[in-house]
Structure 1
Amino acid sequence: MLSDGAGAVVVEFQPHPSRPSLRVDWVRHVSLAHEHDVCMRAGMTGAEPVVGGTWQDLPVADAREAGMFLLRQDVGMLDDLAHAGIAQFEELVDIGLVEVRHVDHVLCHYSTHAFRDVAFDALKRRIPTLDTDRWYSNLETRGNTGSASIFIALEEAWRTGRFAPGETILLAVPESGRFSFAFAHLTVVAPPPSRGELP
């Protein structure tokens, strides 16, 4: 379920002068932590922190012996996470931030293909014309690299020539620890014309 990786992007105020760039059209991040119990945790014995019950309250050896440094996840809550993520996507469509017919590529982070199937089934009910061939994932080749996943997938899709100027990309990243969802909309832009060139 978890691999190791690192990824980053460079954000600048203007397009690259000699090659295509990705323009950030908008970013939206929503947390639903107030509506759900903790799904993933570490540093404590129970599902919620209590005074005197965290790794900071014990000698390190005792906290280690109690298993407080282990990452725990309630996988029974992951269906709720998937459905909450679908609802967030549908809200983007409802308010007009995402026009499904005009999205050329979707890069979505998920930790297992089971979530991909849940997402596709739910989206097909809402948007029967959605072409799932537009979705890109490198889960099979790179694994679940956590917070680096979307950057690694974006770099790989870019490097392999998947994007062309004028196309749009939707990035979708769910986070199970506190039920948060991040989305970004990008547009591929050509380099600006050189001096003396006609646009």
Structure 2
Amino acid sequence: MQPVYVTASAQCLPGAPVGNDEMADFIGRLSPEAERLGRLTLRQNRIRHRHYAIRPDGSSDWTVARLAGAAVRNLLDTAAIDADQIGFLATATTQNDLLVPGLASLTHAEAGLPPMEVASLQSVCASSMMALKTAALQVAADEHPAAIAVGAEFSSRYFRPDKYLGTDVMRADGTLPADAEFLRWTLSDGAAGLLIEKAPAPRGLSLRIDWISLRSFADRFAPCMTGGAVHDGNGAISPWSMNGDIGAAAKAGAFQLRQDVAALYRMLPVWLGEFMRLVDLGRIDPRAVDWFLCHFSAHSLREEMTQLATRAGCMIPAERWFTNIYDKGNVGAAAIFLMIDDLLRSGQLIHGQKILLAVPESGQCIISYAGLTVVEAGQ
């Protein structure tokens, strides 16, 4: 791929940081036993703070599109080019506000951008990398002089008690199945975006995009993280639209986010195998990586990944890892862009350093890696 550059970045995190002791005030209380399970989940993920786009009463002035639009406007405030020079917008999210139209159209309107080409990418965490690669290729192919990739999530709206009470998923003791409980205490809200151009920014640091790789292994795995699905209790799922009327689908728990954590751990060797394939191809040299930005949903998952990589002899030393999950939470499709923005603002980058991105996705097993190089203006 012809080199293109991340020349600006920005984020939008709604509200003040929410600590662990305040979480239940926002997502609501199901039962004392559910809160006990929540504390166990927090010990696993070790997230200390996150942001919610809802108020403690469940109301909100935000939507996914408004979060994404605010991130884009913040991005334009820092960019060295005018909005009319940007010809392409790619958006990424797990769940859009509406079934139709796509998030890119809604974000385009919210951001106040001029007429342009758009693309809506919807998956889970790796949709960010789909958006980044799509935007980068548009610029590399000279289709547009500049493009924006933005990821946004508004997960908390699905975690309020009224999304569970009265459904078949709710247990007699007021708890949820582990695959629903884990996400309720792990996911949070926010948005972040990147500006892609043909040349480095005239001032400060840019990131040259050297390559992006994304592979799906859905041929080997059933869906792991789902929304809009009815689970029959034996591992089979069906779309919400095939389960009677909308009320019946809701009662069956179709509109709840679920993640099979056991299946997630079975994907780890596949993600590591893809890492080693890229090492064999010469795309990744673990010894040359100065900064490793790896998206993970929980500290326990990071520890398992570290153990596997150490046994395989391809572990990138912990001091080269950069993460913000413990203080900004797991923001899904916005997570890797949030990390890039925070790293760019950290004051730790030096011209010529190599950055490796890793975004695994449990939806139905996707893994994406990308190589970036730090470039200082005038160098």
Pairing 1:70–2:246 present: no
2:295 to 109, 114, 133: 109
Contiguous gaps of at least 5 residues in structure 1: 194-199
Query: Are the counterparts in 1 of residues 230 and 252 from structure 2 also a CA contact under 8 Å?
Result: yes
Give, in angstroms, the shift of residue 112 of structure 1.
0.3
Distance 1:10 1:112, change over 3 A: same
**Letter paired with 2:195:** V
Amino acid at match of 1:159: R
What are the superposed Cα offsets for residues 57-105 of structure 1, whole Å, 9 maximum, x if unpaired? Answer: 3322222112111111111112112222111111111111001111100
| Equivalent-residue separation in structure 2 for 1:119 and 1:162 (angstroms) | 25
Q: Flag the 1:5–1:120 CA change in 2: closer, same or farther, 3 A.
A: same
Match of 1:159 in 2: 345
Matching of residue 33 in structure 1 with residue 192 in structure 2: no
Map of 1:86 onto structure 2? 272
Corresponding position of 1:177: 363
Question: Is this contact kept in 1: 2:309–2:315, CA < 8 A?
Answer: no
Write the distance in 2 (CA, Å) between the matches of 1:119 and 1:66: 34
Instruction: Show CA shifts across 1:31-81 (max 9, x none).
Output: 00001121111222235555xxx3223322222112111111111112112
Secondary structure at the aligned position of 1:69 is classed as coil
Task: Judge which range, 58-67 or 145-154, deviates more.
Answer: 58-67
Change (3 A) 1:129 1:183: closer
**Who is 2:196 aligned against?**
11
- 1:146 shift after superposition: 0.6
Matched letter for residue 321 of structure 2: W
Amino acid at match of 1:139: I
Whole-angstrom CA distance in 2 between matches of 1:32 and 1:68: 24
Paired residue for 2:247? 61
Contact 1:100–1:130 (CA under 8 A) maintained in structure 2: yes
Gaps of 5+ in 2: 1-185
Find the aligned partners of 2:305 and 2:241 in 1 and give their Cα distance: 39
Amino acid at match of 1:85: W
When residues 118 and 103 of structure 1 are mapped into structure 2, their CA distance, relative to the original with a 3 A threshold, is same
Moved more, 129-138 or 171-180: 129-138
CA separation of 1:29/1:190 partners in 2, compared to 1, >3 Å: closer, same or farther? same
Q: Which amino acid aligns with 2:207?
A: L
Amino acid at match of 1:2: L
Question: How far is 1:120 from its partner?
Answer: 1.4
In 2, distance between residues paired with 1:126 and 1:103? 17
Contact map agreement 1:38 1:48 (CA 8 A) in 2: no
Confirm or deny: 8 A CA contact 2:292 2:316 kept in the other structure.
no
Secondary structure of 1:33's counterpart equals: coil
Identify if the C-alpha distance between structure 1 residues 129 and 151 changes in structure 2 by more than 3 Å, giving closer, same or farther: closer
Contact (CA 8 Å) 1:138, 1:153: kept in 2 or not?
yes
Partner of 1:88, secondary structure, is helix
Contact 2:216 2:366 in 1 (8 A): yes
- Quick one: distance in 1 between partners of 2:241 and 2:314? 51
1:21 paired residue among 206, 210, 216: 206
Give the TM-score normalised by the residue count of structure 1. 0.89
Q: Is the 8 A contact 2:268 2:305 kept in 1?
A: yes
Partner residue of 2:138? none
1:82-136 deviations in whole A, cap 9, x for unaligned?
Answer: 2221111111111110011111000000000111111211222222674221011
| Residues 190 and 144 (structure 1), Cα distance of their counterparts in 2 relative to 1, 3 Å cut | same
Q: For the residues of structure 1 that align with 2:313 and 2:342, how far apart are their CA atoms?
A: 28
Which structure has more relative contact order (CA 8 Å, sep 6+)? It is 1
Mapped to 1, the partners of 2:191 and 2:247 lie a distance apart of 30
Q: What secondary structure is seen at the aligned counterpart in 2 of 1:188?
A: strand
Q: Which residue of structure 2 aligns with residue 191 of structure 1? A: 377
Conserved 8 A contact 2:293-2:355: yes
- Give the aligned CA root-mean-square deviation in angstroms: 1.6
Cα-to-partner distance string for 1:159-190 (whole Å, 9 max, x where unaligned)? 11121110010000001011001111000011
In structure 2, give the amino acid aligned to 1:70: Q
Amino acid paired to 1:69: F
Contact 2:293/2:323, CA 8 A, preserved across alignment: yes
